[in-house]
């Protein structure tokens, strides 16, 4: 299937590893020119090498997206390099969680600042360029914790539920301009971040973190955790011409873990 992505211009935040890295690769494979943004230049360079191997075109901006100034820098350099922006994949940010009985409000503030606020800033900055062509795609990676609160994931859950609400509001604001805004909510995924998240539990239970992850995956209805490439394939579809009638939706890619309906 031709996704109609040849020559499109994309920004992928958090593009140096995990889901973001795979999103950058998936878009490049379809002929999209990609700017990847993350904090670590060495990791970004590795992804750029992988894009080159796919005969893709890309460049990187090593930056912390905690500030409006740095978000502006990413968008400005993308426009200077590619002439505009057609696709934004918001993926940056990993909250530090704590038990609700020990949680500080600063930890929630930090999660909102890096993840939710950067998503909003980046979206607001790219929308004018998308409006010029009456075409654009914004895909937010929010995680499943927004609708699956627990005593230990409030910073993540608060940031993610904010993104789900933001997705709906942004979609209402720009759908008439040909811009589709949607969210993917991954669950347990085979990434370095998943290992970081489960490290403390593995220590508490005196278990190997790899064993713990695979056991958690087997408990899902899917019988396994997701691979980041699987998330990226859906991102590529949501970014495409083929996806033409999906507005403000949230797609749960959690192996069936979510119990709520719909």
Kindly report, residue by residue over 89-112, the tens digit of the pLDDT.
999 977 778 888 998 999 989 989
Does some domain include residue 2?
A: no
pLDDT digits (tens, 9 = 90+) for 183-218: 999 999 999 888 887 877 788 888 988 999 999 999
pTM of the model: 0.95
CB of 90 within 8 A of CB of 119?
A: yes
139 beta partners: 89, 182
Does some domain include residue 4?
A: no
Domains: count for the chain: 2
Domain match, 120 and 200 both: no
- 117: pLDDT strictly greater than 90: yes
CATH of residue 183? 3.40.50.720
189 beta partners: 226
What is d(CA 122, CA 245) in angstroms, rounded to the nearest whole number?
Answer: 23
Domain match, 159 and 172 both: yes
Closest by alpha carbon to 210, among 226, 222, 223, 194?
194
Domain match, 174 and 234 both: yes
What is d(CA 174, CA 50) in angstroms, rounded to the nearest whole number?
Answer: 33
Does some domain include residue 262?
A: no
CB of 118 within 8 A of CB of 11?
A: no
Query: If you average pLDDT over residues 77-94, what whole number do you get?
Result: 95
Q: Identify the pLDDT of residue 262.
A: 64
DSSP 225: P
What range defines the domain where residue 114 resides? Answer: 9-187+227-253
Does some domain include residue 260?
A: no
Closest by alpha carbon to 23, among 36, 41, 6, 40?
36
DSSP 113: I
- Would you say how long the chain is, in residues? 262
- 69: pLDDT strictly greater than 80: yes
Domain match, 97 and 136 both: yes
Domain match, 150 and 215 both: no
What is d(CA 77, CA 66) in angstroms, rounded to the nearest whole number?
Answer: 17
Does some domain include residue 261?
A: no
Domain match, 151 and 126 both: yes
């Amino acid at each position: 299937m031709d996704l109609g992505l040849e020559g499109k211009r994309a920004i992928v935040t958090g593009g140096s590893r995990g889901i973001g890295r795979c999103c950058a690769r998936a878009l490049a494979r379809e002929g999209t020119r990609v700017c990847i943004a993350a904090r670590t230049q060495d990791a970004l360079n590795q992804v750029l090498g992988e894009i080159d191997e796919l005969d893709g075109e890309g460049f990187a901006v090593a930056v912390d997206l905690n500030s409006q100034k740095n978000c502006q820098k990413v968008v400005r350099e993308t426009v200077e390099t590619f002439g505009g922006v057609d696709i934004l994949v918001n993926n940056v940010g990993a909250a530090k969680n704590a038990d609700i009985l020990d949680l500080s409000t600063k930890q929630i503030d930090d999660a909102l600042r890096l993840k939710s606020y950067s998503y909003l800033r980046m979206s607001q900055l790219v929308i004018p360029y998308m409006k010029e062509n009456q075409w654009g795609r914004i895909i937010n990676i929010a995680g499943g914790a927004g609708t699956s609160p627990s005593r230990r994931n409030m910073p993540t859950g608060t940031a993610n539920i904010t993104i789900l609400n933001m997705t709906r509001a942004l979609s209402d604001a720009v759908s008439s301009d040909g811009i589709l805004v949607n969210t993917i909510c991954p669950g347990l995924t085979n990434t370095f971040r998943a290992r970081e998240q489960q490290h403390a539990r593995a220590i508490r239970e005196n278990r190997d973190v790899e064993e713990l992850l695979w056991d958690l995956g087997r408990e899902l209805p899917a019988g396994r955790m997701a691979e980041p490439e699987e998330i990226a394939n859906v991102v590529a579809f949501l970014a495409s011409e083929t996806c033409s009638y999906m507005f403000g939706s949230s797609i749960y890619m959690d192996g069936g873990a979510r119990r709520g309906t719909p």
